[in-house]
Structure 1
Amino acid sequence: MPPQTPILLLKTKSSPHDGYEDYFSTNGYTPSFIPVLEHRFHTENLASVRELFASGAFNTDTTTTTPDNGSKEASVCKKKYGGMIFTSQRAVEAFAEMIEQKGLPFHPSQSTPLPLYTVGPATARALAPLRDTYLPTATIHGADAGNGHNLAHLILDHYNALQLQLQLQLRLQQDRPSDADADLGSHKPKPSLLFLVGEQRRDIIPKTLMDTGRPAAERIDVDEIVVYETGEMGSFEVDFRDVLRRERQGAGGGPIWVVVFSPSGCEGMLRVLGLGPFKSASASVDRDGDGDGEGRRRDVFVATIGPTTRDFLRERFGFEADVCAERPSPEGIAEGIRRFVDGSGE
C-alpha cells in the first residue's frame, strides 16, 4: 500500500463529523486540523432565535371562515419567517448547540415546507442531522451553489416559486377553484428569511434578495442575527509549526499539502513556511526546520479552497498558491491536487 500523503487543513474540525476528514482519510491522505480561528457563540442571540420558534414565527396556521355570502374561504395567519439561511458551518454549530442545550419548541404544519438554504456541501451535511431530528418538514437547498452570489439567485428562484405555490394551494382550498390562478402574479407580502451569520460576513445575499432595483414581487426580506464571532487563534503559528515538523519527520521527504480556507491565517502560514515575502536563505538551512526557502527542493505545497483566498495571497503577499479548488469541497481540493501532480510530475 502506498504511503498516505499528509494534508494539513487550516480550519477547525467540524463536529460531530467533518466531511474533509471523512473524505481525505479514505482517499490516500492523512488529514490534520490546525484551527486558525477561534469561534465564540452569542448565547443571547441564540436564545432569541429559540424564542422565535417558540413564539410561532415559523408557523403557518390555515383557518376556514364563512363570509356573509355563505361561501367558505381559507385564510393564513401570517408568519414572520418562511425559511432560514446558513452560509457557514459555525452558524450551523451555534444553532445545533442551542438546540442540544435548550431543545427546539417547534411544531410545524406538516403541509408547509421550511426551506433551509446553504452554500456548499459541507454546510449542507452539517445541517442534515438537525433537519432529520428537529425540523421534519425542512428541505435543504444550495449544496452545489458554490458561493453567495449563486445561492442568492437560487433563493430568488426557489423561494418565490414556493410562495406562489403556497398561494395557489390556499386558493384551491376555497370554494372558487376557477379563481385559483387569480392575483398570483401580484405583489403579496411574503414571509422573510432568517439569516444566521457571524460577526464578520459579506452582505451579497441580503443585498441581492432585497435589491430595490428588482420588481417588488420578487424581493425577499432578510433578517440577520449574529450567532457567533470570530478571532484569529493566538497559538496558530506555534500549533502549525509543531504539526508541520511532526509531518516532515514522518513523511520521509514526500510531499505535504496545506489547505487554506480563508484569508485569516495566511500571513502566519507563509511566515512558518518561509514563503512569499518571508522567504530567506536562513529558512532553508535545516531540513527539519520550518522554511521552504530556495536552498532545497520544496516539500510543502499550498491549496486554497477558492479564488477569494487565492487572490488574497496573490495580491497581499505576492504568493501564488499551487492549487485553487474549482469547487469548495474535499473533492474539489483533491481534484486540483491530482491535476497539479499529474502536470508537474510529482
Structure 2
Amino acid sequence: MPKAKPVLLLKNASVPTDPYEGIFLENGFCPEFLPLLTHRHFDRERTLEYLRSSEFVDEIPVFIITSQRAVEMLGDCLSSLEQEVKKKILSKIGYTVGPATFSVLKTLGFSSIRGGERAGNGSKLAELIHEEVGDISTRMVFFTGVVRKDIIPRKLMEWNHNLQETVIYTTEVRDDVVKNFTNYIERTSGGWIVFFSPQGTESIVEYIRNQRQSQFKLASIGPTTEEYLLENSIKPDITASKPHASSLYEAIVNSENTA
C-alpha cells in the first residue's frame, strides 16, 4: 500500500470540521495543520450588547461576514442569546464570501445566506450586494476583525450604501510558527506546503526563501496569495482555480499526474 503523501496546511483548522482536511484524508493524503494565528473576541460583552440592541435586532436587516474567524465568534455569541433575539437575528439576510463560511452560517441556523459560491472574493461580493440590496438607504453591518481588507466597505461606500462596521475579533501571529515549521520539515520527507493567506506567514516565507527544500512543492489557494509569494521571490508550483478544498485538491492531483 503506497504511503500517504504529506500536505502541510498553513492555517488554523476550521471548526467544527475543516473541508481541506476532509478531502485530503478521503483521497489518501496525510494532511496536517500548522496554526499561524491566534484568534479571540475583541470584546465579547460589547458584541453581545450590540447583538441584543434594538438597533441591530429591529433596524438592520442585512449583515456581511467574510471571515471564518468572525463567523466562529458570531456563533459563540449566538449561543448566549435569548431564543427570541436569536430567532430574529437568524432571519436576517447575510452575505458572505466562498462556500466554507456559507456552509457554517447555514449550520448555525441562518435561513437567508447569500454569496458563497457566487462570490469568491470581496469585490464580487460587494457587486452582488449592490445589485441585490438595491436601496442604498438599507442599513447594513459588516462584522470584521481588527485587521481586514477594505475592498468591500470601500466599494459599498463609493456606491453610497448605508454601511457600518463592527469589530468582533482580533488576530495575533503565534510566536511558535518557525519552530513548528522547522520541526515539520525535519521529520517529513516531501509532500506539499499550502499557503492560504499572507497573514502570519512572514517567517515561513523568509525560511523558504533562504533554505528552500526541493523535496517540497508549494501551493497557493488563490491569486492574491500567489502574488504575495512571487513578490517574495517564491514561485508556487500550483495555484487553485477557486479558493476552496476541491479546487486545491484537483490542482495538486493534476500537478502530480503530469509530473
Aligned-partner SS, 1:25:
helix
In structure 1, the residue matched to 2:143 is 196
Secondary structure class of the residue paired with 2:3 = coil
Query: Match of 1:126?
Result: 104
Which residue identity does 2:155 align to in structure 1? T
Q: Secondary structure at the match of 2:123?
A: helix
Structure index of larger Rg: 1
Q: Provide the residue aligned with 1:223 in structure 2.
A: 164
From 106, 113, 131, give the equivalent of 1:157.
131
In the alignment, structure 1 segments of 5+ residues that lack a partner are 60-78, 164-186, 249-254, 280-290, 293-297
With normalisation by structure 1, the TM-score equals: 0.68
Matched residue type, 2:228: F
Residue 91 of structure 1 deviates from its aligned partner by 0.2
Q: 1:286-338: CA deviations, max 9, x gaps?
A: xxxxx51xxxxx221111111111111111x2111111111011112112212
Conserved in 2, the CA contact under 8 Å of 1:41 and 1:227? yes
TM-score (structure 2 length as normaliser): 0.90
Instruction: Please give the alpha-carbon distance, in whole angstroms, between the structure 2 residues aligned to 1:96 and 1:269.
Output: 31
47, 56, 63: which one pairs with 1:84?
63
Structure 2 unaligned segments of length 5 or more: list them: none
Aligned positions of 1:1-346 closer than 5 A: 1-43=1-43, 46-59=44-57, 79-102=58-81, 105-108=85-88, 114-131=92-109, 135=110, 138-144=111-117, 145-160=119-134, 189-190=137-138, 192-211=139-158, 214=159, 219-248=160-189, 255-272=190-207, 275-276=208-209, 278-279=210-211, 292=213, 298-315=214-231, 317-343=232-258, 345=259
**Structure with more contact order per residue of length (Cα contacts < 8 Å, sep ≥ 6):** 2
Could you report, residue by residue, the CA deviation over 1:155-208 in whole angstroms, capped at 9, with x for unpaired residues? 112222xx6xxxxxxxxxxxxxxxxxxxxxxx8x32x11111011111111111
Quote the Cα distance in structure 2 between the aligned partners of 1:88 and 1:119.
8
Conservation of the 8 A alpha-carbon contact between 1:306 and 1:325: yes
Answer whether contact 1:56 1:106 (CA < 8 A) is retained. no
Q: Over residues 38-62 of structure 1, what are the superposed CA-to-partner deviations in whole Å (9 max), with x where a residue is unaligned?
A: 212112xx43443344333355xxx
Superposed displacement of residue 258, structure 1: 0.7
More helix by share: 2
- The 1:300–1:117 alpha-carbon spacing in structure 2 relative to 1, beyond 3 Å, is same
The SS at the match of 2:79 is helix
2:8 aligned counterpart, secondary structure: strand
Distance 1:267 1:52 in 2: 35
Identity rate, percent = 33
Amino acid at match of 1:140: I
